[in-house]
Amino acid sequence: MNGKKTLRISLILAFAAIVLVLVQTRCRHEDLNTATLDKVCYQSDIGPIFLRSCGTTGCHASPRGKGGYIFTDYTSVMKSITPFNAQKSKAYKAITGKGFVQMMPPSGALSENERILIRVWIDQGAENTTCSTPVTGTTSGTGSKTPIVQADQVCFQRDILPVLLSSCGTTNCHNQTTHKEGYTITSYATVMSNLVKAGSPATSELYTVVKNNKMPPSPYAVLSSAAKDSIFNWIKNGALNNVCTSSCDTTGVITYQNQIATLISNNCISCHSGSGASKGILLDTYATVKVQLDNGKLLAAVKGTSIQMPPGSSITSCELREIELWKTNGAIQN
């Protein structure tokens, strides 16, 4: 997971550099030279942002989006876009609060990074393109161009299945025994049987229900934005049963913020957060995780010596070692 730490640092540095440029030009965004930046693509970079943040039920989803705008597909999005001119694009004005009472979406403004990506995409021509990989946050191999964002390839076995097993394929939900509403979500085969249409997240029930926070149901915690984006990108890129090398790394200093939080989020948080936390055990903050670490229950559960957690699967030996080393070295937070 040190690689993910490096990725995050790269993101911060890359965006900080852009922000500094904007500040030094007195926030005159028209001075941002998009020709020096890596190509930003709609399908792999911009579409997921609009779909997740704007094209939701009750806002700008089909068939009647608020204000007459729909943000679920490229053709509809382009009705509020002026190619090569973000400043005149209604969508960009909305997300930056220009001419509106508040920045859109009303439930919470997009991050500065997301606004910059949309800005660059529009000023590069707002084309309906697909990049083989999202624009990167380290050396791009494109010569003098400055990269913007980095994202690892999303793989079913490493990234998607652990989330589905801990959030959906559980007892009394969609495991082999219960299979509520006829759905079983415990393997690639069962997920692909009737929940996913490869290449089309918008018509895949798996993505639409998690995007609209219909699953997992209350009182369980909804999936994080990162998990939703991973599912979107996995389906969009063909919904392959790929494995990928684990990003787990036990060679460096292990902290809650850099390694353990992601591990817990992928495997435990859906059942152990909020008012409906399973058996009353919370694992949604550093403090609550440390309580279960100190009393021995966390390690007992993931080792399967008490009850197997996460249910229906297990974390890898490397991830188990991460937790053990984290405890041994004082359970550092940051």
In a domain, 129, yes or no: no
Domain count of the fold of the chain: 3
Structural domain contains residue 313: yes
Do residue 107 and residue 6 come from a single domain? yes
The parent domain of residue 107 ranges over: 2-123
What the block records as the tokens of 59 is 């806002």
Query: Do residues 229 and 260 both lie within one domain?
Result: no
Asked whether residue 18 falls in the same domain as residue 116, the answer is yes
Q: Please indicate, yes or no, if residue 182 is contained in any of the structural domains.
A: yes
Q: Do 100 and 51 reside in the same domain of the chain?
A: yes
Same structural domain, 317 and 260: yes
Note whether 224 and 312 are same-domain residues. Answer: no
- Do the Cβ atoms of 165 and 186 come closer than 8 Å? yes
Q: Is residue 270 part of a domain?
A: yes
- For residue 97, is it within any domain? yes
Pair (90, 167) in one structural domain: no
Ranges 9-18, 52-61, 96-105, 239-248: which has the least confidence: 9-18
Residues 7 and 79 both lie in one domain: yes
- pLDDT: is 245 or 234 the higher one? 234
Query: CA quadruple 280, 284, 288, 294: dihedral positive or negative?
Result: positive
d(CA 305, CA 310): 13
Q: Do 175 and 287 share a domain, yes or no?
A: no
Question: pLDDT tens digit string along 195-226?
Answer: 999 889 999 999 999 998 888 877 777 888 87
38/98 same-domain check = yes
pTM comes to 0.47
- Are residue 165 and residue 78 in the same domain, yes or no? no
- Are residue 22 and residue 114 in the same domain, yes or no? yes
| pLDDT (average), residues 183-198 | 90
Of the three residues 208, 236, 264, the one that is the final residue of a domain is 236
Q: Mean of the pLDDT values across residues 164-170? A: 81
Question: Domain ends where: 184, 201, 236?
Answer: 236
Does 136 map to a domain?
Answer: no
Residue 134 lies in a domain: no
Report the distance separating Cα 244 and Cα 121, nearest Å.
29
276, part of any domain: yes
290-319 pLDDT, tens digit per residue, is 999 999 999 998 887 777 777 666 677 788
